[in-house]
Amino acid sequence: MYINVIGAGLAGCEAAWQAAKRGIGVRLFEMKPDKMTPAHKSKNFAELICSNSLKADRIESAAGLLKEEMRRIGSLLMECADKCRVPAGGALAVDRDIFSSMVTEKIKSHPLIEVIGEEVTDIPKDTVTVIATGPLTSDILAEKIIGLCGGSLHFFDAAAPIVTAESIDMECAFTASRYDKGGDDAYINCPMNKEEYENFHTELISAERAPRHDVDVQNPKVYEGCMPVEILAQRGLDTLRFGPMKPVGLRDPRTGHRPWAVLQLRTENSDKTMYNLVGFQTNLKFLEQKRVFGMIPALKNAEFVRYGVMHRNTFLDSPRVLNADFSLKSDPNIFFAGQMTGVEGYMESGASGMMAGINAVKRLKNQSTVVLPPENMIGALSRYISDESVKDFQPMGANLGILPPLSEQIRDKRQRAAAYSQRALKRLWELFYFEQ
């Protein structure tokens, strides 16, 4: 028995390793070095394209919790990362060349993993398959995936920020739908008076923007529906008031009048622990987003779980096409892993590969697949990418906002994060899914 894994990036290597360590043969397809994408430079597997940082190392953080869960399940990537770490303060950073070389050596030397150096142009149907080809999937295979998923493959230019529900100042906001349609809790509305709005507008149009690179944005055209809010604002002082900040159909219960401008927040997940800034796609630098959007009174203390981004990416409309075990709804013998599933970040990709590899083995053996509980960061991510209540799906990294709320309110951020982590690791300890 064997499975196929397409792509030897972080997710593909982790998927292959998890299958092989469970005694299943793996045919791992990788087109490098014969064919390289514009982003790749190394012939090795698990190449770190951008930063060499794997984010925070503290278990009492979202990124640290994710990595600790991976360690306890038996992650190849975490084993290698811990062995080649470099000084980085509170983050886990690695020597990227040593890291990739170490992962490559372990994959190539495993007796159950056969590396096949060729580009895959069609989706194999000979056995269970994990597709982990990343955000720069080759055009030929991308077309096959589009056909397989009914066209549900997205290329996006811009995404709006997401904030935690508990960080929104509800004394400066109110819940209502426009013209009272759709229920009072459909949106959280963040009103501004004339002076607040004009000050915000001034800072918005002059804020520093992030650079765009051709490797990230293949098509420089930005569609009107994805127009960054700072570009819209440049068209005139009142443009936003007739666009994403229009107050029409809303009445502030504190004043009894229509506000001068309103930013609406829409729930991002079924637990309503996160809200996105509707119509606020942006290319501002992250610190500028926090500074400028924090001028909106209801967001003055907002905790951003994802900042707005603007770049080229390829990902599935996962809530419509994927199950929480990372299998395809229309063909459960095909699994997806990595950034294509809508997880964002190095270790998030690795974690999805871990689960896809484990579940591919279970599918091959006709066993029930597994999804970690929502209290676990890995489980929360897998549920987010398969949550059909998420309508405008955009990639998501590890953050405490996707975890179910704690049973008690804890105001201190560090203590709250520690409580989330303690609960998650206790829940993981109780499981019997991952026999080594």
354 in a domain, yes or no? Answer: yes
245 in a domain, yes or no? Answer: yes
* Size of the chain in residues: 436
Helix, coil or strand: residue 265: strand
The pLDDT assigned to 429 comes to 81
Residues 132, 22 share a domain: yes
Q: Is the pTM of this model over 0.75?
A: no
Final residue in a domain of this structure, among 276, 306, 336? 306
Task: Name residue 39's amino acid.
Answer: A
196 in a domain, yes or no? Answer: yes
8-state DSSP, 386: T
Residues 325, 404 share a domain: yes
Task: Name residue 339's amino acid.
Answer: Q
36 in a domain, yes or no? Answer: yes
Angstrom distance (rounded) from CA 212 to CA 12: 28
Can you give the three-state secondary structure of 176-239, one letter per residue?
CCHHHCCCCCCEEEEEECHHHHHHHHHHHHHCCECCCCCCCCCCCCCCHHHCCHHHHHCCCCCC
What tokens does 109 get? 């030397």
Residues 372, 331 share a domain: yes
Residues 237, 188 share a domain: yes
Give φ, ψ of 127 to 5 degrees: -165, -175
Residues 269, 343 share a domain: no
Which helix (H) or strand (E) is 304 found in, with range?
Answer: strand 304-306
Please state the separation of Cα 125 from the chain's center in Å: 28
284 - beta bridge partners? 209
The pLDDT assigned to 353 comes to 98
Nearest to 356 by CA among 384, 323, 319: 323
Residues 374, 230 share a domain: no
DSSP string, 125-189: -SS-EEE---TT--HHHHHHHHHHTTT-EEE-S-B--EEEGGGS-GGG-EE--GGG-S-TTSEEE
- 399 within 8 A of 331, measured Cβ to Cβ: no
The CATH number for 171's domain is 2.40.30
Residues 331, 280 share a domain: no
How many C-beta atoms lie closer than 10 Å to residue 197's C-beta? 24
What tokens does 270 get? 């079924």
The pLDDT assigned to 180 comes to 75
Helix, coil or strand: residue 407: coil
Residues 298, 184 share a domain: yes
Residues 145, 26 share a domain: yes
Residues 260, 146 share a domain: no
Cβ neighbours for 51, distance < 8 A, ≥ 6 positions apart: 93
**Full domain range(s) for residue 425:** 2-156+313-429
Angstrom distance (rounded) from CA 122 to CA 145: 9
Residues 135, 193 share a domain: no
Angstrom distance (rounded) from CA 220 to CA 217: 6
What tokens does 433 get? 């899914």
Final residue in a domain of this structure, among 306, 328, 356? 306
For the chain, helix (H) and strand (E) counts, in that order, are 12, 17
Give φ, ψ of 3 to 5 degrees: -125, 160
- 241 within 8 A of 229, measured Cβ to Cβ: no
Final residue in a domain of this structure, among 291, 306, 321? 306
Instruction: Walk across the sheet containing 113-116 and list its strands.
Output: 113-116, 25-29, 2-6, 129-131, 331-336, 327-328
Angstrom distance (rounded) from CA 89 to CA 97: 20
- 205 within 8 A of 197, measured Cβ to Cβ: no
CA neighbours within 13 Å on the CB side: how many for 58?
Answer: 10
Angstrom distance (rounded) from CA 46 to CA 254: 54
Angstrom distance (rounded) from CA 118 to CA 32: 8
The CATH number for 424's domain is 3.50.50.60
434 in a domain, yes or no? Answer: no
- 84 within 8 A of 61, measured Cβ to Cβ: no
What tokens does 251 get? 């009445």
Domains in the chain: how many in total? 2
Residues 289, 166 share a domain: yes
Q: Kindly give the parts of the chain with pLDDT less than 70.
A: 37-40, 50-51, 87, 89, 152-158, 181-186, 212-226, 270, 311-313, 431-436
The pLDDT assigned to 398 comes to 95
Angstrom distance (rounded) from CA 117 to CA 109: 15
Angstrom distance (rounded) from CA 207 to CA 139: 36
436 in a domain, yes or no? Answer: no
